[in-house]
Structure 1
Amino acid sequence: MKLFQKIIIAPVVLGFLSPIAVQSSDIVNIEEINNYVRSQAKKSSRLDSETFIKEVSKDFANLKGSADGLEAQQNEYEAGAFSETTTMSGAASFQVGAVDGSVISEAVTATYSYDLDLNTTFTGDDNLYIGIETGNGGLPTIDFNLDSSGGGADILNVTSMYYQFPLGSYEVAVGPKLDSDDLMPTTLSKYSDKFFMAGSNGGITAADFYYAPGITGSGVAIARTFDNGFNTSASVIGMSAGNSDGLLTKEGGDTFTLSAGYDGENYGLGFIYNVLNDVCAPIADYETCASLGFAEIAASSTSIGGYWNFNEGKTTLSVSMGVLSGEVPGSIVEEINEAHFGIDHELGEGVLSAAIKSSDFYRTVGNTALADSLGEFAEIYYSYDLNDSMEITGGISFAMGDNTETTFIDRTAFGAGATFKF
Structure 2
Amino acid sequence: MKLFQKLLIGPAALGLLAPLSASANEVTMSDFVGAQELAVTSTRIEGSKAKLNNLEAGSFSETTTMSGSASFQVGAVDESAITEAITATYSYDIDLNTTFTGEDNLYVGIETGNYSATSVDFALDSSGDGGDTLSVTSMYYQFPLGNYELAVGPKLDSDDLMPTTTSTYSDSFFFGSQYGLASNYFTSQGTGAGVTVSRTFDNGWNTSGSVIATDTTGILTKEGIDILTLSLGYDADNYGGGIVYQKSESICTLVGNHATQLCNDYGITTLLDEGYNSTTFGAYYSPGEETTLSVTSSVIDASVSGATVDTVADFQFAVDRKLGDGTLSASWKTFPFFKVPDLNGTLIRGDDLGSFIELYYTYDVNDSLTITPGVAFAMPATDAASINAGSDDLAFYLYDRTAIGVGATFKF
Question: TM-score, normalised to structure 2's length?
Answer: 0.86
Q: AA paired with 1:232?
A: T
Q: Give the number of equivalent residue pairs.
A: 372
Seen in structure 2, the aligned counterparts of structure 1 residues 273 and 115 have a Cα distance that, compared at 3 Å, is same
Deviation string 1:64-112 (CA, Å, 9 cap, x unpaired) is: 1011110011011112211111111101111111111221111111111
Shift of 1:335: 1.3
Deviation string 1:257-279 (CA, Å, 9 cap, x unpaired) is: 11010111001111101100112
Q: Which residue of 1 aligns with 2:11?
A: none
Q: AA paired with 2:284?
A: Y
2:191 is equivalent to residue 216 of structure 1: yes
Contact 2:281 2:298 in 1 (8 A): yes
2:222 is equivalent to residue 250 of structure 1: yes
Q: Which of residues 253, 256, 273 in structure 2 aligns to 1:281?
A: 253
Q: Which of residues 21, 45, 56 in structure 1 aligns to 2:34?
A: 56
Q: AA paired with 2:243?
A: F
Contact 1:140 1:285 in 2 (8 A): no
Task: Report the Cα distance in structure 2 between the residues aligned to 1:178 and 1:323, rounded to whole angstroms.
Answer: 24
Shift of 1:138: 4.4
2:240 is equivalent to residue 261 of structure 1: no
Q: Secondary structure at the match of 2:187?
A: coil
Seen in structure 2, the aligned counterparts of structure 1 residues 402 and 57 have a Cα distance that, compared at 3 Å, is same
Q: AA paired with 2:320?
A: D
Deviation string 1:339-359 (CA, Å, 9 cap, x unpaired) is: 100001111111111110002
Q: Secondary structure at the match of 1:60?
A: helix
**Pairwise CA RMSD:** 1.7
Q: Which of residues 188, 207, 220 in structure 2 aligns to 1:232?
A: 207
Q: Which is worse superposed, 128-137 or 295-304?
A: 295-304
Where in structure 2 are the equivalents of 1:256-405 lying within 5 Å? 256-288=228-260, 289-295=263-269, 296-311=273-288, 313-364=289-340, 365-366=342-343, 367-400=346-379, 402-404=381-383, 405=394
Shift of 1:368: 2.5
Q: AA paired with 2:411?
A: K
Contact 2:352 2:381 in 1 (8 A): no
Shift of 1:141: 3.0
Q: Which residue of 1 aligns with 2:83?
A: 105
Q: Secondary structure at the match of 1:210?
A: helix
Seen in structure 2, the aligned counterparts of structure 1 residues 401 and 407 have a Cα distance that, compared at 3 Å, is closer
Where in structure 2 are the equivalents of 1:402-413 lying within 5 Å? 402-404=381-383, 405=394, 406-413=396-403
Task: Report the Cα distance in structure 1 between the residues aligned to 2:53 and 2:368, rounded to whole angstroms.
Answer: 32
Deviation string 1:169-205 (CA, Å, 9 cap, x unpaired) is: 100000000001111010110011111111122xx21
Seen in structure 2, the aligned counterparts of structure 1 residues 71 and 172 have a Cα distance that, compared at 3 Å, is same
Shift of 1:52: 4.5
Contact 1:261 1:268 in 2 (8 A): yes
Contact 1:209 1:320 in 2 (8 A): no
2:160 is equivalent to residue 185 of structure 1: no
Task: Report the Cα distance in structure 2 between the residues aligned to 1:75 and 1:85, rounded to whole angstroms.
Answer: 17
Q: Secondary structure at the match of 1:310?
A: coil
Task: Report the Cα distance in structure 2 between the residues aligned to 1:78 and 1:291, rounded to whole angstroms.
Answer: 57
Shift of 1:215: 1.1
Contact 2:278 2:298 in 1 (8 A): yes
Task: Report the Cα distance in structure 2 between the residues aligned to 1:116 and 1:322, rounded to whole angstroms.
Answer: 32
Question: Which consecutive residues of structure 2, in runs of 5 or more, have no partner in the other structure?
Answer: 1-21, 384-393
Contact 1:111 1:137 in 2 (8 A): yes
Deviation string 1:376-396 (CA, Å, 9 cap, x unpaired) is: 121111110000110000111
Q: Secondary structure at the match of 1:228?
A: coil
Seen in structure 2, the aligned counterparts of structure 1 residues 401 and 217 have a Cα distance that, compared at 3 Å, is closer
Identical amino acids, percent of aligned pairs: 51
Task: Report the Cα distance in structure 2 between the residues aligned to 1:285 and 1:109, rounded to whole angstroms.
Answer: 21
Contact 1:102 1:408 in 2 (8 A): no
Q: Which residue of 1 aligns with 2:66?
A: 88
Q: Secondary structure at the match of 2:106?
A: strand
Seen in structure 2, the aligned counterparts of structure 1 residues 290 and 341 have a Cα distance that, compared at 3 Å, is same
Q: AA paired with 1:403?
A: T
Where in structure 2 are the equivalents of 1:60-75 lying within 5 Å? 60-75=38-53
Q: Which residue of 2 aligns with 1:23?
A: none
Task: Report the Cα distance in structure 2 between the residues aligned to 1:138 and 1:308, rounded to whole angstroms.
Answer: 37
Where in structure 2 are the equivalents of 1:3-18 lying within 5 Å? none
Q: Which is worse superposed, 51-60 or 99-108?
A: 51-60
Q: AA paired with 1:60?
A: L
Question: Which consecutive residues of structure 1, in runs of 5 or more, have no partner in the other structure?
Answer: 1-43
Seen in structure 2, the aligned counterparts of structure 1 residues 190 and 172 have a Cα distance that, compared at 3 Å, is same
Deviation string 1:213-257 (CA, Å, 9 cap, x unpaired) is: x410000000001111111000000001x2xx2111112110001
Shift of 1:45: 7.8
